[in-house]
A and B are shown apart, each in its own frame.
Chain A
Amino acid sequence: MTDAQVVKRAKYKSSVKDPGLRGHKSSKEGANRPALLNLTQDQGNYIFEFENFSDREICRDFVAKAIAFSGEVGGPTSDKAVPQKDEQLSSAEMERRIKLLQEDIELQKLHKQFVIGDVLSETEFWATRKKLLDVNASRKAKQRVGLKSEMIFNVKPSSDGQSNRVTFNLTPEMIHQIFAEKPAVRQAYINFVPNKAAYVSQAAEDEELAVFLRQDAILANETRQKIRKVDPTLDMEADEGDDYTHIPGHGLANEDIKDELEAQYEPFKRSFLQDINRHAAVVLEGRTIDVETGDTRSVAEALASTKRVELAKEASDGNVLQDRIDRIVRMAEIEDLQAPRDPPVAPLCIKDPRDYFDSQQVNALNQLSGTRQMKSRLSTSEAYGSLRAHISEIRTTGFSDPIVRPEVAFQVFNSLTQNISSSKYQLGKNPHESILDTLPSVTKEELLLVSRLRDAMSKIYPKLQEIKESVQSDTRHQVSLLVQPMLQALDAAFAHYELDQQKRYAKGGEKPNGYA
């Protein structure tokens, strides 16, 4: 006999005017004692036995109320009773009162003492305890019993030794949890289990089936939804990387052991992780529906419908799209993910190979004159002899003291330093820039200089041409060799200048840099 049923019946019975009850007696509470309620009527005694004491209390209360009612209606002697017929006791109110009485034994005793003993009326009693009622109600509204956090791994089936049947004893609670955690099972149940009654055992068998068949599809769906909800601006990797305290060995130990084993267990680990994640999600979500309402079928359907409602809400919600667009915009603004606007590398350009031939002039001259001048004064054998003589000279006289004269060494030092420092400036990127930087006031003058320089340089070309032609044919080659680097230098200078001009106009004329 459940509470709900008692209340229902009580509601039904409240219309009865005079049940003819005169009084009631109840047996003492205690363990191992039957809960008896002795109702005395005009006709006789009725003894009711209840399953538990709380049920009996409820009946007793109601009986007391009924007696009070009838007493009021019947006899004017019970004036103490406050006109209760004016009070409209709602069923919810009744429920709450009954619940309170159930939970609090002291309250129960007081209630019995005062109300049933006709010291106080019901309303008076409850008026003072209104706060309790309200508190209880609100507490009841807010706090719900959460789901157990232990996962269903301890569902051990009991098996008969004889037959091959395996029975799972699943409470509705566990069924609810299974359906919440394994949507595959729920889906399969809805599809494969048409008939309501007596198919509970099927669930256990279907569980394994469904797990193997539908797991991946549903998982994929879920992950897709979750991915859509992920905020792309959150950097998970960085977060993970920072969280070294949870890495075994604090990220220091070298983790190159058991790679093969781990690879073997990878699929199991993955599904295990997924199960844990889903269980955690379910537990945190709490009870979306009441377990008590209905059997497995309705539980499954209820869970499915809530999920569908959520999806529908998300899909129909216009804000979702806007949110996604916002997120994409935010994502696009992440610097790291931006494609580089300007390529950081300069475009491939084939340099003028004549740039490499700066020393060509020197070499050319050398080659022309070298072989002629370089002749040994002695014949080969004599040369060898002199070489050996030199060697033996060292053996006899040894090294000179000092090896190098100090003044010579000093000169060498100076020339080396000068050479190094001068070549540093010459081979620098933009030497003229450094000079111009220090003279910002004379930029206009520089500009004028530049144009004058250009004119002068352009005049050199015809002059060189004249020189070439005036020289006789046999020496012309040498002259052209000499003239060629000059021409190259001029060409390079003009090209460089034009390039600089272009750059300058592109930049909007920041700094005049046309000095070639």
Chain B
Amino acid sequence: MTPVSSKQYADDVSLLMVLIDTNPLFWSSTAAPLPFSKFLSQVLSFLNSILLLNQLNQVMVIATGLNSCDYIYDSSLGLTTQRVETLLQKLEEFVIKDEELNKDDSVDGIGSSLLSGSLSMALCYIQRVFRSGSLHPQPRILCMHGSQDGPGQYVAIMNSIFSAQRSMVPIDSCVIGSQHSAFLQQASYITGGVYLKPQQPDGLFQYLTTVFATDLHSRSFLQLPKPVGVDFRASCFCHKNTIDMGYICSVCLSIFCKHHKKCSTCGSAFGQPQTNVSTSNQKT
């Protein structure tokens, strides 16, 4: 296959990074609206459709597991005939590996998959594509997520979101689970992507082809679903609870729910809280 940089790219060529949530606890719980096999078949058909839309389109699949993340499929490697087969093969291998990494048997609830890890891996790959030359398809990230938001990943996810915003890579979110994901809402809002929680999980393929198959150039002409409201609340750095009123370190802007003597992120000491004027400790 000819290298990417030597081709002429039209406006609608896209590089799609699909992050699939493979949290087994989620897929085996009642929170999952459809069985994993149905979900996977619809996603794979969607990937085939994307590759059919344009000869130069590229697709990259990353699996988001409980304990690890990994690249599952890369369309630029060729293999048009055995595409699904290779993908499923690699996915199975990944699941086995992920299980081996699972040390702690007792997981609280359905746990949360490592979204921050897969976001970081996607952004790294995109950076590599950017540096390959001036001619490259327009990258975007599609996050198929169902697990809960892990509060411990708040900082890492926010960092990935800001770096995606800086690289102008939109993050689309398709939330399969029963609840909305605040992290993904913020991600889509900040990066200019689309956030959707399908009302009819049976028609997931239809949702995917109608909303998420649109390339970035065409989006300027289309009306895509917008979320009604975005939950912008931050999580405190000490307990990872979502808070709307708290304390902020004026040096590093870390958020705390309770008054601390010292900032745990940057180590700066806070002064005594005063009624009128605050010296180094600001109250929001």
Interface residues of A (CB under 8 A from B): 353, 356-360, 362-363, 366-367, 370-371, 373-384, 386-388, 390-395, 398-400, 403-405, 408-409, 411-413, 415-416, 419-420, 423-424, 426-427
Contact = CB atoms under 8 A, between A and B. Distances in A.
A405 B85 CA distance: 24
Contacts of B135: none
A415 B211 CA distance: 13
A391 B224 contact: no
Which 8 A-B residue pairs are closest in the complex by CB-CB distance? Answer: A358-B229, A383-B24, A412-B203, A390-B36, A359-B229, A390-B37, A412-B206, A408-B203
Given A376-B29, A387-B36, 10 more contacts: A360-B233, A360-B244, A367-B242, A374-B31, A374-B178, A390-B27, A391-B95, A405-B202, A415-B199, A420-B223
B99 interface: yes
Nearest to B110: A374
A245 to B, nearest CB: 37
Given A412-B203, A426-B228, A382 B223 contact: no
B252 interface: no
Interface residues of B, number: 62
Contacts of B233: 357, 360
B203 A388 contact: no
Given A376-B25, A381-B99, A399-B45, A412 B207 contact: yes
B16 to A, nearest CB: 18
Interface string B2-45: 00000000000000000000101111111100011110111011
Interface in B161-208: 178-180, 182, 185, 198-200, 202-207
Contact of B206 (A360, A394, A404): A404
Contacts of B110: 374-376
Scoring A375, A387, A413, A419 by chain B CB atoms within 10 A of each residue's CB, the highest score goes to A387
A404 B203 contact: yes
A251 B180 CA distance: 59
Nearest to A378: B28
Contacts of A379: 105
B205 A383 contact: no
A400 B40 CA distance: 11
B275 interface: no
B109 A387 contact: no
B231 A359 contact: yes
A380 B148 CA distance: 16
A419 B225 CA distance: 7
B232 interface: yes
B37 A394 contact: yes
Contact of B92 (A375, A392, A398, A409): A392
B35 A423 contact: no
A361 to B, nearest CB: 10
Contacts of B99: 381, 384
Contacts of B261: none
Contacts of B108: 371
Contacts of A380: 24-25, 102, 105, 107
30 contacts: A356-B230, A357-B231, A366-B179, A370-B179, A371-B108, A374-B29, A374-B31, A376-B28, A382-B28, A383-B25, A383-B28, A386-B28, A387-B36, A388-B95, A390-B35, A390-B40, A391-B36, A395-B88, A403-B42, A404-B203, A404-B204, A404-B206, A408-B206, A409-B206, A412-B200, A412-B210, A413-B210, A415-B199, A423-B225, A427-B226
A416 B194 CA distance: 13
B203 A384 contact: no
Given A367-B242, A415-B199, A423 B226 contact: yes
Contact of A356 (B92, B107, B232): B232
A411 B44 CA distance: 22
B141 interface: no
Contacts of A363: 179-180, 182, 231, 242
Contact of A387 (B22, B45, B224, B228): B22
A388 B105 CA distance: 18
A359 B231 CA distance: 6
A388 B31 contact: no
Given A386-B27, A387-B95, A408-B202, A357 B244 contact: yes
Contact of B205 (A391, A404, A424): A404
A400 B205 CA distance: 12
Interface string B28-71: 11110001111011101100000000000000000000000000
A403 B95 contact: no
B192 to A, nearest CB: 16
A180 B209 CA distance: 83
Contacts of B227: 359
B232 to A, nearest CB: 5
Given A370-B148, A374-B29, A391 B40 contact: yes
Contacts of B231: 356-357, 359-360, 363
A353 B243 CA distance: 13
A378 B24 CA distance: 10
A328 to B, nearest CB: 47
A376 B30 CA distance: 7
A373 B29 CA distance: 10
A387 B27 contact: yes
Contacts of B92: 388, 391-392
B96 interface: yes
A411 B203 contact: yes
Contacts of B31: 373-374
Scoring B26, B200, B204 by chain A CB atoms within 10 A of each residue's CB, the highest score goes to B200
A403 B205 contact: yes
Contacts of B206: 404, 408-409, 412-413
Contacts of A427: 226, 228
A376 B178 CA distance: 14
B157 interface: no
Nearest to A355: B229
A138 to B, nearest CB: 77
B201 to A, nearest CB: 10
A423 B148 contact: no
Nearest to B109: A374
Interface string B96-131: 101100100101111000000000000000000000
A435 B202 CA distance: 38
B255 interface: no
Nearest to A366: B179
Contacts of B223: 420, 424
B88 A394 contact: yes
Contact of A371 (B35, B107, B109, B202): B109
